[in-house]
Every structure is written in C-alpha cells, then in structure tokens.
Amino acid sequence: QKEVEQDPGPLSVPEGAIVSLNCTYSNSAFQYFMWYRQYSRKGPELLMYTYSSGNKEDGRFTAQVDKSSKYISLFIRDSQPSDSATYLCAMSAYAGGTSYGKLTFGQGTILTVHP
Amino acid sequence: DGGITQSPKYLFRKEGQNVTLSCEQNLNHDAMYWYRQDPGQGLRLIYYSQIVNDFQKGDIAEGYSVSREKKESFPLTVTSAQKNPTAFYLCASIGNRDGKYEQYFGPGTRLTVT
C-alpha cells in the first residue's frame, strides 16, 4: 500500500464548477500537507500548504486537512479553463527546525476545465 | 521557478553512458531534492540532502549518485546501472524565510536514453 493515495482521474468539469480533489494517507507522522499545480512539461508549483489539521483559504482555493481520517482535500471554486493542470498532493513529517525530511507525493489528478 | 534552475531542459544519451543533471538554487535553502516523474506515477524521490556534504537515499536511489559540495548546487548523475533512465527529472529545494516554510521546484530536465 502506498503511503499517499490520490485518484488519478482524469476529471473533466465545466467552467464555473466546484472541483474537489482528495488524497488519503497512512503515515500518522505527516504534519505538513501541500497541494501543487503542474502544467504540462513544467515543474510543479506549490499552491498551498497546511500545518496539522484545519482549513486554509486562498482566493478560489480551499485546503482541508482531517488528520483523524487521514484525508486531505483541495476545493477550487468557480473553476476556470486556466485551472486545467495536474494537481498533486504531498506530505511531510517536518516538525520545525532545519531538518526538513522527505516530501511524499500522490500520483496526481489530471483536471480539465472546459469552457 | 523561484530561483531554482535546472539544465539542460532536454537531454539525449545513448544507453551505457553516464549523464549528469545540474540543479542550482540562489534561495539560501538548506534542503535539496531530486525526484523522478513518470506518466501515471507521480513524483518518486531519488536522493535528498539537508546540509552540505551530506545526503540520503530516497525510495529509488539505485543507479543514481549525487554530491552536495556547495549549498547552492546538487547535481544528479544517472549512471549506466539505472535500468530505465528515460524520465522527467525534477529538482526541488526547501528552506525557511522569515519563519515561513518555503519550497520550490525547478523547471525539470527531460532525459531520453536510447
């Protein structure tokens, strides 16, 4: 079993829809939870990160972490064609200081938002 | 890319040749990472380094080697022992700026071995 599981999709939605992307994980030591967006043939770009449980909002994006269920989500409101990309979740057991440890990634979900 | 560069963007090699991929950052980040990305498999960790002159194996280190002689630089060598070297290679760095966690990826190097 992989440490981080992510449904690869693909996911296709109409413009303006609310998109929900999810990951589950098995390692209880994970403390930092990240979401990345990756356009074709480019490096991933960090969208948001959350420390421990809770919600974080940034514009049209909301990240949620439920450590009791080992489940994280990214919601995209009012989705746009420019949101079409691969979305990757990643997790780390980093607990502060300069010992950052490993980032473990999900498979990535391919999202297409059509006009 | 936030101050982390990789070169070259595309690389073509013949089977049996070693090849070195460059990764440089000017962010003063302590930690640097190498990942490999294959279609449908997400990112898999090859090696990482949290401090100069020290590095650790990731999940798929066999057939690869690294060095960290300077904080800014973390080159990856793909040796002839790597059975399936054709892939998209991504370098990343992590650090702390004004108490805030900071992380960037480079633009990647696409390696094709024939």
Kindly give the confidence (pLDDT) of every residue in chain A, 115 residues in length, as a single tens digit, with 9 standing for 90 and above: 789 999 878 999 999 999 999 999 999 999 999 999 999 889 999 999 998 888 999 999 999 999 999 999 999 999 999 999 999 999 998 877 777 888 899 999 999 999 9
A69 CB neighbour count, 10 Å cutoff: 10
Residue of B67, B86, B83 lying closest to B75 (CA atoms): B67
The per-residue pLDDT for range B94-110, each reduced to its tens digit, is 998 888 888 899 999 99
Cβ distance A42 to B96 less than 8 Å, yes or no, reads: no
Taking only residues 33 to 62 of chain A, the set having a beta carbon closer than 8 angstroms to any beta carbon of chain B reads 34, 36, 41-46, 49, 51
Closest Cβ–Cβ partner in B30, B43, B108 for A88: B43
B112 CB neighbour count, 10 Å cutoff: 11
The per-residue pLDDT for range B29-85, each reduced to its tens digit, is 999 999 999 987 789 999 999 999 999 999 999 999 999 999 999 999 999 989 999
How far apart, in whole angstroms, are the C-alpha atoms of residue A8 and residue A22? 10
